[in-house]
Chains A and B, each alone.
Chain A
Amino acid sequence: MGWAIALHGGAGDIPKDLPPELREPREVCLRYCLQMGVDALKAHKSPLDVVELVVRELENNPYFNAGKGSVLTSNGTVEMEACIMDGNTKNCGAVSGLTTVVNAISLARLVMEKTPHIYLAFEGAEAFAREQGVETMDPSHFITPRNIERLKQAKEANRVQVDYNTRPIPKDEKPPGPNGDSQLG
């Protein structure tokens, strides 16, 4: 049936009345990334190159929860993680706990291709990033005013929030069961 591509920018409790100033930049980015991926597939780039290319672009967009624009931990810090997998060989690479790496997905690919391991995390992953010479920035580069505000809201409500929850998930409360009218996600 030929080539195909899909991409996402996160799921959750995205309010139907999301204001245009928050909806439109995301739609513009999704449309741009889709076209970039289609052009790469038409140019016979490998699916691995295509998915890395697209996710890098999404990581660099501050409107999505990855890379620049990552949401904040309870300490107000950023901890980024990523994973890439090749279907033919089942080779895969994963990283967690990154605080300075601009494109976590590219470091995950380097773990897959340059180490005998699948997963590197925290200071080991950061050290590997420096060894590989990938682009890094000061942690403050990844923090946006909007996410500082979201952390403040979540702390006031003593809850954690998924990508787009308007109503954060109570830390002490388990999400409602499958048939519950869930506002989570």
Chain B
Amino acid sequence: TVGCVAVDSYGHLAAATSTGGLVNKMVGRIGDTPIIGAGTYANKICAVSATGQGDAIIRATVARDVAALMEYKGLSLKEAADYVVEESAPKGTTGLIAVSATGEVTMPFNTTGMFRACATEDGHTELAIW
């Protein structure tokens, strides 16, 4: 699975995710990637792209939960994403990338690793696996 989230200097957000699914999956099986609110979601507050074990991500409505925690509980992007990855999604199944309208970035995961990279206007860049 691959994904990208971006916010421009006006605070406009977008999310995109694409995948081949699971090895040896049944023909016709749909994962979290194309399900709005599970593997992919964006609104005026944040943009989220998730990856990992699709069935667990769908059950936990991962992407929408991050946005909802920010919208209804006033959590920061990092707090919301950390809560969803550490408390909602089963351990070892989920990673996500997210940006907020104010230019925050977070890339938490509860698997062994996640191929990821990010950059912000104030000069921070990161590229990591584990």
Taking Cβ atoms with an 8 Å cutoff, the residues of A that contact B are 1-16, 18, 23, 26-27, 30-31, 33-34, 37-38, 41, 44-48, 50-52, 54-55, 58-59, 64-67, 69-75, 77-88, 90, 92, 94-97, 104-105, 108, 118-119, 121-122, 142, 147, 150-151, 154-155, 159-164, 168-169, 175-180, 182-185
Contacts and interface: CB of A to CB of B under 8 A. Distances in A.
A66 B16 CA distance: 12
Given A44-B8, A64-B2, A82 B33 contact: yes
A96 to B, nearest CB: 5
Given A79-B27, A92-B36, A7 B90 contact: no
B54 to A, nearest CB: 8
Contact of B36 (A9, A59, A118, A122): A118
Interface of B: 1-9, 12-31, 33-36, 39-47, 49, 51-53, 56, 90-99, 101-107, 109-122, 125, 127, 129-130
Given A87-B47, A147-B23, A180 B115 contact: no
Contacts of B49: 8
A114 to B, nearest CB: 17
A73 B25 contact: yes
Contacts of B3: 7-8, 55
B111 A37 contact: no
Contacts of B46: 87
A159 B18 contact: no
A119 B111 CA distance: 29
A79 B21 contact: yes
A151 B114 contact: no
13 contacts: A8-B1, A8-B2, A8-B96, A10-B51, A46-B12, A55-B17, A64-B1, A71-B23, A80-B21, A87-B47, A104-B18, A122-B28, A182-B93
Contacts of A15: 112
Contacts of A52: 16
A168 B23 contact: yes
B6 A50 contact: yes
Most A Cβ at <10 Å: residue of B9, B101, B115, B120: B115
Contacts of B117: 6-8, 30-31, 33-34
A7 B109 contact: no
A66 B22 CA distance: 11
